[in-house]
Structure 1
Amino acid sequence: MKKKVGFKTLGCRLNQFETDALASRFAGLGYDVVEDSDDTDVFVVNTCTVTNQSDQKSRYVVNNALNNGHSGMLIITGCMANHHKEKLEQRYPNAYVVGNEQKSAIPQLVEAHFNKEIIPANQNQGGVFSYAPAAETFHTRSMIKIQDGCDNYCTFCIIPKVRGRAVSRPVSEILENIRQVVGFGYKEVVITGVNISRYKHGETNFSGLIRQIVDLDLDFRLRISSIEPDSFDDDFFELLKHPKITPHLHLCLQSASESVLLKMRRMYTYKLYKKTVERLRAIDPLFNVTTDIIVGFPEESEADFQRSLDSIKELQFGHVHTFKYSKREDTRAARMSNVVAEKEKTRRSELLRQEAYQAKLDYRKQFIGKQQEVLIDTIKGDFSKGYGEYYIPVKALSKLEKNKLYNMLIVAIELNGDEPCLIGEIKH
């Protein structure tokens, strides 16, 4: 009888990539792979620790599995495993706590466990790029890891501590990875990492890498995931005109206040950020710019917050991830004074969310009457859903084929909570 392995992934696309690669490896070893802990022989929780809330969510997933009777092998991995390894080992003595450096070796650890060749998790040979291309994943898109770690040391961020210094993957491995996943049948490739715009391997920088990717004689579209706005060059803006590259960037802002950006130790100014968005919209007036904004950073004044609020309308963001500042030990911001009260952070967060929702709705309404090439990833009942090239959800009121691109005319918008969805009709 086949053994069953379950996964729960929290946090960023990099975690999603690593989970997909692990899941595909387990499938190749003959395991049934699922996205929960029910009746599983192995349950892998790929954690996030970017905020206190992320820690809480990660602990909740582990506790919920144990409270629901999970008695199989429990593996806690990801950034929380790096950040709180000793605490997790004390709290969950029967779990394996596996850091990011050994995460890729989890299948070997599990096989050793069931073969009664128990070895400590930290003795497994892993590596941040030791992931085989995923033939079977939980997603329609195939994520490609090009980089890991970060050297920026923003004052609020714990990621350099849990992911380490910036390292880049060899170009040849990335290109071969893409050839393989396109060969598996994936229509969309997503470039991911911790700080991908700082990619540098040998003489090849980020723009040089993207140029080699789009020059591959393969049929796929390329999506670039979360990226910092501090290292774009003219070559990159020119590359964004390439038909393979989707017109969407998640461009991290964090604050529109110059003084707050300085205290955060961000590597750009709001003036530079605004100019970057203007150059993107010069390429395509509908270019989808999504972002992250932190509210309630230490010493953030009402005027500072207002600048962030105003930026949403000024820059016409397609989506904004709103975060209340979360104090992280071992960061510079944790030692800052003039802390914003939690109640005030909540008030500012709600105001920003309201402004962001209206901007999202206004942005998406512009697509009514226009065409989108939609990659279907969900089929439920009598409708199908997917994402167009601008990374906006599109719903078709018919059963379509998963992992297939359809040319659709956008005819309406459906208001559904915080996520207004476009309604499309297939163009024949």
Structure 2
Amino acid sequence: EFLELLEEDFLEKHLHIALQHSHDLMLERMNRRNRTKSDRELLEIIASKNFAIGTDFIVGHPGESGSVFEKAFKNLEGLPLTHIHPFIYSKRKDTLSSLMTDSVSLEDSKKRLNAIKDLILHKNKAFRQLQLKLNTPLKALVEAQKDGEFKALDQFFNPIKIKSDKPLRASFLEIKEYEIKERENHAVF
């Protein structure tokens, strides 16, 4: 039923799926029911319908050894993700994980966080380049204006900077010509 909904035109083309991690050992330690194989299968189906996909990811959870993280990172490389909200595990009182003793240093956690951010930045840019190659028009909602430049989000939840003399704020636009930059798309309207 969920997958049938993905065919509906009224949906924007971005989904956020809370995976939390991409290694089965960590998912088990986090008391999550999902596993990497089923996550991959679901995300590949969603991506085949031309959706951008985001997720949350916890780094530095107790038990995330160097080898576990390396495998998790390799798994992330293979997932069709375009957005990520990675964050460093923080100990919370009265939780099962707060009792675990195999903690990860803050320094290692920060390195892992940055590695994941860099990976998804590249994957997002590749996704946007593919959309341009496919001549996919961007359906944008203009949210703000500053100094003759508008900020918008497209149907894939990607930011667009738009130069225009027209009053575009709070409007929906279809943008057929745009440039791919490192972190966003640029257009003139």
TM-score by length of 1: 0.42
Structure 1 CA distance for aligned equivalents of residues 41 and 16 of structure 2: 15
Is it true that 1:305 corresponds to 2:72 in the alignment?
Answer: no
Q: 2:33 aligns with which of 256, 267, 270?
A: 267
Instruction: Give the drift of 1:424.
Output: 2.7
Aligned to 1:103: none
Q: Deviations over 1:311-343 (max 9, x none)?
A: 332113111111111111111100012111222
Structure 2 CA distance for aligned equivalents of residues 314 and 387 of structure 1: 26
Taking a change above 3 Å as real, the CA distance of residues 411 and 383 of structure 1, as seen in their structure-2 partners, is: same
- The alignment partner of 1:316 has SS state of coil
Q: Is the 8 A contact 1:395 1:424 kept in 2?
A: yes
Aligned to 1:378: 144
Structure 2 CA distance for aligned equivalents of residues 356 and 311 of structure 1: 12
Q: Is the 8 A contact 2:150 2:161 kept in 1?
A: yes
Aligned to 1:422: 185
Q: Is the 8 A contact 1:293 1:323 kept in 2?
A: yes
Structure 1 CA distance for aligned equivalents of residues 27 and 81 of structure 2: 19
The amino acid that maps onto 2:142 is I
The alignment-based identity, stated in percent, is 25
**Consecutive unaligned residues in structure 2, runs of 5 or more:** none
Q: Is the 8 A contact 1:376 1:400 kept in 2?
A: no
Is it true that 1:408 corresponds to 2:175 in the alignment?
Answer: yes
Is it true that 1:364 corresponds to 2:128 in the alignment?
Answer: yes
1:6-85 matched pairs, under 5 angstroms: none
The amino acid that maps onto 1:413 is I
- The alignment partner of 2:178 has SS state of strand
Aligned to 2:79: 315
Aligned to 1:331: 95
The CA RMSD over aligned residues, in Å, is 1.6
- The alignment partner of 2:176 has SS state of strand
TM-score by length of 2: 0.90
Q: Is the 8 A contact 1:375 1:405 kept in 2?
A: yes
Structure 2 CA distance for aligned equivalents of residues 316 and 279 of structure 1: 10
Instruction: Give the drift of 1:400.
Output: 3.4
**Consecutive unaligned residues in structure 1, runs of 5 or more:** 1-234
Instruction: Give the drift of 1:425.
Output: 4.3
Instruction: Give the drift of 1:260.
Output: 0.8
Structure 2 CA distance for aligned equivalents of residues 347 and 394 of structure 1: 29
- The alignment partner of 1:323 has SS state of strand
Q: Deviations over 1:202-229 (max 9, x none)?
A: xxxxxxxxxxxxxxxxxxxxxxxxxxxx
Instruction: Give the drift of 1:304.
Output: 1.6
Q: Is the 8 A contact 2:161 2:185 kept in 1?
A: yes
- The alignment partner of 1:401 has SS state of coil
Number of aligned residues: 186
Structure 1 CA distance for aligned equivalents of residues 136 and 127 of structure 2: 13
The amino acid that maps onto 1:423 is H
Q: 1:246 aligns with which of 9, 12, 15?
A: 12
The amino acid that maps onto 2:186 is I
- The alignment partner of 1:268 has SS state of coil
Q: Is the 8 A contact 2:40 2:79 kept in 1?
A: yes
- The alignment partner of 1:293 has SS state of strand
- The alignment partner of 1:317 has SS state of coil
Is it true that 1:350 corresponds to 2:117 in the alignment?
Answer: no
- The alignment partner of 1:367 has SS state of helix
Q: Is the 8 A contact 2:47 2:80 kept in 1?
A: no
- The alignment partner of 1:376 has SS state of strand
Q: Deviations over 1:150-193 (max 9, x none)?
A: xxxxxxxxxxxxxxxxxxxxxxxxxxxxxxxxxxxxxxxxxxxx
Aligned to 1:83: none
Taking a change above 3 Å as real, the CA distance of residues 313 and 400 of structure 1, as seen in their structure-2 partners, is: farther
Q: Deviations over 1:217-249 (max 9, x none)?
A: xxxxxxxxxxxxxxxxxx111011111111111
Structure 2 CA distance for aligned equivalents of residues 410 and 300 of structure 1: 44
